[in-house]
């Protein structure tokens, strides 16, 4: 078996193999869809809908998953992947759900601002947005109103996000207890479950190109609520 097929470089180091692959496998070296910003809508939300629908239609895995970035109490950046739950086109508000007691929830309670990033590698498309965050407590809403599947509902009942875990056995006991609780009452509330909505102030659409002729279109919300559009250097 060759060294390359085992993931090991010529000197036996996986790091050297990684460095080789980073050099030899440039990103976006494939045909990608085009993007004409001249026909883009006046506001960013409809274009986001178009791009996300296109990604889901193209069967891009987990196309609805976004990176949510916040700022910690230490002023350092933090990020994690969450599911986009809704998009209010009229308001320009992107929504996701999380536990208000989690590290992210505590961060947003102190600094209610966030950035969302969507990236669909198969299409070479990226969308970045940031804005002020509104929080709506969904703890006492019915699971179907919260948009939770049975497994997601159980996960919210387990809670304890980011706390130390002694091992798989402890998690299994907590999961079984939460599952039994849900079985007794499928409408059992999930304490701390919150919907966060990012009211976008800036949105950027980035279309990659295999020849590095990328296209970037940025929207910025004005004081009167309208949007200003402009191209950016790639």
- 1: pLDDT strictly greater than 60: no
| pLDDT tens-digit series, residues 214-224 | 999 999 999 99
| pLDDT tens-digit series, residues 155-171 | 989 888 888 999 999 99
Give the integer Cα–Cα distance in Å for 153 and 39: 42
Extract the tokens encoding 142.
């019915």
- 3: pLDDT strictly greater than 50: no
CB atoms within 10 A of CB 128: 18
| pLDDT tens-digit series, residues 85-125 | 999 999 999 999 999 999 999 999 999 999 999 999 999 99
pTM of the predicted model as reported, rounded to 2 decimal places:
0.87
Going along the chain from its start, the domains and CATH numbers come out as 24-139+192-232 (2.30.110.10), 143-190 (no CATH)
Q: What residues pair up with 68 in beta bridges, in sequence order?
A: 80, 116
- 148: pLDDT strictly greater than 60: yes
Whole-angstrom CA distances from 44 to 34, 90, 215, 216 are 18, 11, 15, 13
- 5: pLDDT strictly greater than 60: no
SS3 231: strand
Give the integer Cα–Cα distance in Å for 149 and 196: 18
CA atoms lying within 13 Å on the CB side of residue 26 = 8
| pLDDT tens-digit series, residues 30-50 | 999 999 999 999 999 999 999
């Amino acid at each position: 078996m060759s060294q390359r097929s085992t993931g090991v470089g010529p000197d036996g180091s996986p790091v050297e193999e990684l460095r080789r692959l980073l050099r030899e496998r440039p990103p976006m070296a494939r045909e990608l869809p085009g993007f004409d910003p001249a026909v883009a809508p006046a506001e960013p939300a409809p274009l986001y809908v178009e791009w996300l629908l296109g990604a889901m239609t193209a069967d891009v895995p987990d196309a609805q998953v976004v990176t949510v970035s916040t700022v910690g109490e230490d002023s350092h950046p933090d990020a994690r992947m969450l599911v986009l739950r809704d998009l209010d086109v009229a308001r320009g508000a992107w929504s996701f759900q999380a536990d208000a007691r989690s590290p992210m929830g505590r961060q947003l309670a102190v600094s209610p601002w966030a950035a969302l990033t969507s990236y669909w590698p198969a299409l070479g498309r990226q969308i970045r947005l940031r804005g002020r965050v509104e929080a709506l407590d969904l703890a006492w809403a019915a699971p179907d109103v919260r948009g939770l599947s049975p497994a997601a509902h159980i996960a919210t009942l387990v809670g304890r996000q980011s706390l130390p875990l002694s091992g798989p056995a402890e998690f299994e006991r907590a999961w079984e207890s939460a599952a039994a609780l849900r079985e007794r009452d499928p409408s059992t509330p999930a304490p701390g479950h919150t919907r966060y909505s990012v009211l976008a102030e800036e949105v950027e659409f980035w279309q990659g190109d295999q020849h590095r002729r990328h296209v970037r279109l940025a929207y910025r919300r004005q004081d009167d609520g309208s949007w200003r559009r402009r191209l950016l250097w790639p």
